[in-house]
Amino acid sequence: MPFKDDSRLALDASNLEKVLKRILKDAEKREEMTEWLQLLVPGFERIEVHSDTISGTDTFLIYEKGANQPFTKSLISDGTYNILALLTAVYQSDEPQFLCIEEPENGLNPKVIRELVGLFRSQCEEKGHYIWLNTHSQTLVAALQPKEIILVDKVNGATQVKQLHDTDLHGLRMDEAWLTNALGGGLPW
């Protein structure tokens, strides 16, 4: 279902500017998002959404330390855009929401991935969100706890799903247990 207004972020983030504009009107959310962006994007100072009254389009502008001009969407990295879209999705609602995010690690530094897992976890606890992350990333899996993992595996043509609870990792890190198949599923061979 494509969203064209500012109520919800569309699956392809085509209305990112509209949703972001609405979120940034809330001083508390603007401050939180700015703090996250300063942590996750080197040199980030602030973000604004410029509205063109003639064309009706919204454009976000990112200001960074040491840059004389703001950066538009076409001038930022894919990783910075992904971070902005992920934060927008999380902050778009104070009501509990279900977000299923496909490979959130794309274009992101491993430290950013770990920080985002912390953000997702805290938003689930504070706001009652359900955030599912679909991944093949060792870095992302390493940041998770066994109770947060659901393995999906294909066995003899049938999809099998297995949720980990209080699984004993026998001293292995979460990603090591996953990659060595000690958890019994999730590997393509």
Q: Model pTM?
A: 0.91
All domains of the chain in start order, with CATH: 16-144 (3.40.50.300)
Structure tokens at 57: 């389009």
Instruction: Give dist(CA 82, CA 140) in Å, integer.
Output: 15
Indicate the Cα dihedral angle 187, 120, 76, 17, nearest 10°.
120
Instruction: List all residues 6 or more positions away from 12 whose beta carbon is below 8 Å from its beta carbon.
Output: 2
Q: Which helix (H) or strand (E) holds 178?
A: helix 174-179
Three-state DSSP class for residue 75: helix
What's the distance, Cα to Cα, between the start and end of the chain in Å?
35
Q: Could you tell me which residues are beta bridge partners of residue 63?
A: 46
**What is the arithmetic mean of pLDDT over 136-141?**
93
Give residue-wise pLDDT tens across range 30-42: 999 999 999 999 9
Position 45 scores a pLDDT of 97
